[in-house]
Copies of this chain bind each other. A is one copy, B any other.
Amino acid sequence: MDGRLLAEIRDRYACRAFLPDGVDDGDLRLVLEAGRLAPSAFGLEPWRFVVVDAERRAAVEHAAFAQPAVVSAPLLVAIAALVDALHPDSDYVRARFVAEARGEPIDGIEAAYRAFYRPERIAAWAIGQCNFAAAHMLLQATHLGLASCPVGGFDDALLAQALGLPAGETPALLIALGHCAHAQPERLRKPL
């Protein structure tokens, strides 16, 4: 078995400063598509991807404490976690279960989800689910020859406002994309 994927996994790193060169629309679309196809518990896909436009850019940078990766990146994609939509009685959840059941009854998955659902922990859970989509997007960026940086450090309320998120959504992660101004640093990981 060849190690193509592992080579890409090894090539991914957190770029801390980007060059001004932009990202093609076609590449952006492939990154979003990789995120869209990510797995999620109960098939709920509790995410929405927001491409940060010029108008919102300054406010987003401010909400992320003007970190160098965020300020220098030519492209920022935010992953918003759906929270209110995850209530077991919501139209959103019902629609996902109906799709997931492929014509079979949804009683089983619905009962399992009701037993799982806790309002006080659903936001943190949805944010965690967004990491499945983020991991796909980061690898797809590497595959396309793009550098990336996942950014989880931001003021939640400020970023929600900067992104214009509706009530019931919360920012999960920012992904900075572009071409890196520095080489990949030595890889650091715990041993297996």
Residues of A at the B interface (CB closer than 8 Å) are 1, 3-6, 8-10, 12, 14, 26-27, 29-30, 32-34, 36-39, 41, 43, 45, 49, 99-100, 102, 112, 116, 121, 124-125, 127-132, 134-136, 138-140, 143-145, 150, 152-153, 185-190, 192
Report the bound CA distance from A49 to B189 in whole Å.
14
List B contacts of A37 (CB < 8 A): 6, 9-10, 12, 187, 189
Q: Which of A8, A32, A124, A187 has the most CB of B within 10 A?
A: A124
Contact of A5 among B39, B139, B186, B188 (CB under 8 A): B139
- Chain B residues near A143 (CB-CB < 8 A): 1, 4-6
Question: What CA separation (Å) do A131 and B128 show in the bound complex?
Answer: 7
Q: By the criterion CB–CB under 8 Å, are B39 and A135 in contact?
A: yes
In the bound complex, residues from chain B placing their C-beta under 8 Å from that of A116 are 153
A132 to B131, CA, bound (A): 6
CB neighbours (8 Å) of A112 from chain B are 153
A sample of 12 cross-chain residue pairs with beta-carbon separation below 8 angstroms, ordered by A number, consists of: A1-B145, A12-B37, A32-B192, A36-B189, A37-B187, A100-B188, A102-B186, A102-B188, A116-B153, A128-B128, A128-B130, A128-B131
A145 — which chain B residues lie within 8 A by C-beta? 1
Query: Does the CB pair B124–A128 fall under 8 Å?
Result: yes
Q: A188, B129: Cβ atoms under 8 Å?
A: no
Q: CB distance A134 to B132 under 8 Å?
A: yes
B192 pairs with A140, CB closer than 8 A = no
Contacts of A5 in B (CB 8 A): 5, 8, 34, 139-140, 143
Known: A39-B150, A124-B128, A139-B139. 6 other contacts (CB 8 A): A1-B143, A5-B5, A5-B34, A5-B140, A38-B135, A125-B127
What are the residues of chain B within 8 A of A136 when measuring CB–CB?
Answer: 9, 135, 139
B34/A9 in contact, CB under 8 A: yes
